[in-house]
């Protein structure tokens, strides 16, 4: 059974700092990995999707990498801003049912 | 604007009173699903649909029903809600096998059953 873990569970950084969020999974036979952010009382916003044949994706200040052999993905946020404060979730998806298996989440607080 | 729309956003109901949470997407996606989010348990899939008239159980389907009569709509039905169904519910859609697997989520429905 696939298990997805995110470390750290919570992180507080000063504004402007570069940071890395980690996502680990137990089964390397994945189809894709997606990073989301969730703001309090709001839905999930898709940030980046990495398909199994890719190693990284970039969008603005965000960069996500995928290493299937080691069962890890990282989300790098450059020059963090208070508006980046949210819960970040990684999810493994695909297969016949296209089901997403979510990680435990990292609560990020960026202090002004 | 491409989006997944859920209604209502907030709902308080009593045990046993049937309710429906609607979900609609405007991206012509084939695949739709429902998740519930609970503290300490994360997001878990309730039901999913690969296309019109094709639905199947996810990981936590007990107490829920779904239907997929049209491609854009995927309502979640609670025939006899119980307090353990108090949760935050999300609807999601994606292209599934025929295109990008990127999933798009609705804004969520916070359900309280008393």
pLDDT in tens, B69-86: 999 999 999 999 999 999
Q: What is d(CA A75, CA A23) in angstroms, rounded to the nearest whole number?
A: 8
Q: What is d(CA B44, CA B47) in angstroms, rounded to the nearest whole number?
A: 10
Q: Which of B35, B90, B103 sits opposite A93 (nearest CB)?
A: B103
Instruction: Name residues whose C-beta falls within 8 Å of residue A76's C-beta, 6 or more positions apart in sequence.
Output: A18, A19, A20, A62, A63, A64, A65
Tell whether B61 is within 8 A of chain A (Cβ): no
Is A49 in Cβ contact with B102 (below 8 Å)? Answer: yes
Say which DSSP state B83 is in: G
For residue A28, name the pLDDT band (cuts at 50, 70, 90).
Answer: confident
Q: Which residues of A touch B58 (CB under 8 A)?
A: 99
Is B94 in Cβ contact with A49 (below 8 Å)? Answer: no
Contact A47, A108 (CB under 8 A): no
For residue A40, name the pLDDT band (cuts at 50, 70, 90).
Answer: confident
Closest by Cα among A39, A34, A37 to A49: A34
Q: Which of A5, A33, A54, A98 best tests the B interface by mutation, with the highest count of B CBs <10 A?
A: A98
Instruction: List residues in chain A touching B: CB distance below 8 A.
Output: 31-32, 34, 36, 41-46, 49, 51, 89, 91, 93-94, 97-100, 102-105
Q: Are strands A106-111 and A10-14 parallel, antiparallel or unpaired?
A: parallel
Region B39-61: mean pLDDT is 93
pLDDT tens digit string along A83-112? 999 999 999 986 777 789 999 899 999 999
Q: Which of B31, B56, B108 sits opposite A42 (nearest CB)?
A: B108
pLDDT tens digit string along B6-23? 999 999 999 999 999 999
Contact B78, B91 (CB under 8 A): no
Residue A57: strand pairing partners:
A64
Closest by Cα among B20, B29, B45 to B109: B20
Does residue B106 have a pLDDT over 80? Answer: yes
């Amino acid at each position: 059974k696939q298990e997805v873990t995110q470390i750290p569970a919570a992180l507080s950084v000063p504004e402007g700092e570069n940071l890395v969020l980690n996502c680990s999974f137990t089964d390397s036979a994945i189809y894709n990995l997606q990073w989301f952010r969730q703001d309090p009382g709001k839905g999930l916003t898709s940030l980046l999707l990495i398909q199994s044949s890719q190693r990284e994706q970039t969008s603005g200040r965000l960069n996500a990498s995928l290493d299937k052999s080691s069962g890890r993905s990282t989300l790098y946020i450059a020059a963090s801003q208070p508006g980046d404060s949210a819960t970040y979730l990684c999810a493994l998806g695909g297969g016949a049912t296209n089901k997403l298996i979510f990680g435990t989440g990292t609560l990020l607080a960026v202090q002004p | 604007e491409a989006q997944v729309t859920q209604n209502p956003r907030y709902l308080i109901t009593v045990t046993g009173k049937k309710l429906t949470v609607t979900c609609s997407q405007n991206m012509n996606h084939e695949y739709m699903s429902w998740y519930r989010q609970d503290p300490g348990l994360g997001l878990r899939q309730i039901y999913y649909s690969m296309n019109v008239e094709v639905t199947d159980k996810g990981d936590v389907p007990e107490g829920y029903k779904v239907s997929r009569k049209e491609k854009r709509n995927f309502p979640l039905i609670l025939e006899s809600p119980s307090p353990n169904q108090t949760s935050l519910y999300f609807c999601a859609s994606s292209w599934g096998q025929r295109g990008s697997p990127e999933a798009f989520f609705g804004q969520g429905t916070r359900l309280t059953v008393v």
